[in-house]
Amino acid sequence: MKLSTSFFIMLACLSSVAQKAPKTENVILVTLDGYRWQELFGGPQKKIYKTKKYTKDLKAIKGQYYDTDPVKSRAKLMPFMWGTIGGQGQVYGNKKLHNKVTLTNGYKFSYPGYNEILTGWGDRRVNSNDYPDDPNTNIFDFLKAKGFDGKMFCAATWDAFPRIINTKRNGVPVFVEMKADSSGGFHRNGIDIDKWQTTIPPHNPYAKTDTFTYKFAKEYIHRYHPRFAFIGFDETDDFAHGGEYDAYLGTAHTLDSYLQDLWDYLQSDPQYKGKTTLIVTCDHGRGDIPKLEWRHHGRVMGAEYIWIAAMGPGIDALGEIRTREHLHQNQIAATIAALLGYDYKPDHYAGEPIRSLAPQK
Ligand SMILES: [Zn+2]
């Protein structure tokens, strides 16, 4: 009897703590296309950068990002990921520690991955990057029905996102391929993109088109204050396919600096400050064997392994998750809904929320 009484007291305490905990009112989802868990958790991989054809400037890579300790190495490569999210949030998917995050779609390429992230279902029918409008309702449709209409948007480098999000069905503004027009300004929603032509970091010439995607996204967030925003970066995938390991790492480093810049901005804006959760993940991994497979995905062993990082109000500062567990890509949509206080129940199968990110109310 005593045990059950103290159990109820404990429950009461827990629920009062939960009520006091700051709440997520906005979610920003960011994806780094095809960025491998190996570099995220281990920094530059020796077996790849030592191969001459993949690395133009070995000295530069070693000088910028390398340390004999992989924990220091990864923090040099992605200082915001490990200094801030790794300190204040949670990072899942270090396969070496048996903390796994995998796809449930068997395809291991982009459209099926984004379908799984956004709908919560690794639908086998979604089997091509040329797939037409995604027929499955997604987190945007779900949130629209909860009053988020006009409070969501997507900016992405890849032009498949209007089909993946199915903007024809839900009317969510999706801005893709923000290319600068040198002949004199290029405007989207009144935002002048042309002025950003010279803002690519000079010390790191990578992530050019992702830079436009980012600058546009930040400006849009600043002007229109969406409550759910999705930013889709792409150039990690491009450079990996091209076998350019320097550029792949350089892009990851630049995108990490954009995450830092975005987070700093969010903490300066009253709508977002202390009320916004940032989730960073990827659509698929890549192969693991250095000779060629690291470049590719799809029918490549190991490309099913991904990672998820998140931080925000109410998310415990657990850092790198070192417990043995197996999460899935199809849990991201329900996690976003749960963070915003909703039970994600679309008209199709969907994965459960990740409870260590979004505890049950
Ligand atoms: Zn991809």
> Could you tell me the distance, in angstroms and rounded to a whole number, from the CA of residue 33 to the centre of ligand 1?
5
Q: Rounded CA gap, 196 and 188, in Å?
A: 13
Say if 7 falls within a structural domain.
Answer: no
> Could you tell me the distance, in angstroms and rounded to a whole number, from the CA of residue 147 to the centre of ligand 1?
31
User: What is the average pLDDT across 15-43?
Assistant: 84
Three-state DSSP state, 327: strand
> Could you tell me the distance, in angstroms and rounded to a whole number, from the CA of residue 4 to the centre of ligand 1?
50
Asked if 280 and 32 touch (Cβ cutoff 8 Å), the reply is yes
| Cα-based distances in Å from 318 to 47, 83, 91, 308 | 30, 13, 8, 13
Say if 361 falls within a structural domain.
Answer: no
> Could you tell me the distance, in angstroms and rounded to a whole number, from the CA of residue 230 to the centre of ligand 1?
15
Q: Rounded CA gap, 210 and 254, in Å?
A: 9
> Could you tell me the distance, in angstroms and rounded to a whole number, from the CA of residue 30 to the centre of ligand 1?
13
Q: Which residues surround ligand 1, an ion (CB under 5 A)?
A: 33-34, 110, 237, 283
Say if 226 falls within a structural domain.
Answer: yes
Q: Rounded CA gap, 343 and 335, in Å?
A: 9
User: What is the average pLDDT across 260-277?
Assistant: 98
> Could you tell me the distance, in angstroms and rounded to a whole number, from the CA of residue 10 to the centre of ligand 1?
45
> Could you tell me the distance, in angstroms and rounded to a whole number, from the CA of residue 35 to the centre of ligand 1?
8
Q: Is the per-residue pLDDT at 139 higher than 50?
A: yes
**Percentage of residues in the chain having pLDDT higher than 70:** 85
Q: Which of 51, 30, 228 is nearest to 147 (CA)?
A: 228
Q: Which of 340, 250, 320, 342 is nearest to 64 (CA)?
A: 250
pLDDT tens digits, one per residue of 313-353: 989 999 999 999 999 999 999 999 999 999 999 999 999 99
> Could you tell me the distance, in angstroms and rounded to a whole number, from the CA of residue 157 to the centre of ligand 1?
11
**Quick one: tokens of 184?**
């004199």
> What domain range includes position 46?
20-339
The helix or strand, by DSSP H or E, that contains position 90, with its residue range, turns out to be strand 90-92
Say if 74 falls within a structural domain.
Answer: yes
> Could you tell me the distance, in angstroms and rounded to a whole number, from the CA of residue 234 to the centre of ligand 1?
7
> Could you tell me the distance, in angstroms and rounded to a whole number, from the CA of residue 130 to the centre of ligand 1?
13
Q: Rounded CA gap, 84 and 312, in Å?
A: 11
pLDDT tens digits, one per residue of 78-113: 999 999 999 999 999 999 999 999 999 999 999 999
Say if 10 falls within a structural domain.
Answer: no
CATH number at 139 reads 3.40.720.10
Residue 337: Cβ within 10 Å count? 24
Identity at 172, one-letter amino acid code = V
> Could you tell me the distance, in angstroms and rounded to a whole number, from the CA of residue 297 to the centre of ligand 1?
8
Say if 1 falls within a structural domain.
Answer: no
> Could you tell me the distance, in angstroms and rounded to a whole number, from the CA of residue 283 to the centre of ligand 1?
6
> Could you tell me the distance, in angstroms and rounded to a whole number, from the CA of residue 286 to the centre of ligand 1?
9
Q: Rounded CA gap, 297 and 113, in Å?
A: 12
Q: How many domains does the chain have?
A: 1
At 16 the pLDDT is: 47
Q: What is the pTM of this model?
A: 0.91
Asked if 167 and 174 touch (Cβ cutoff 8 Å), the reply is yes
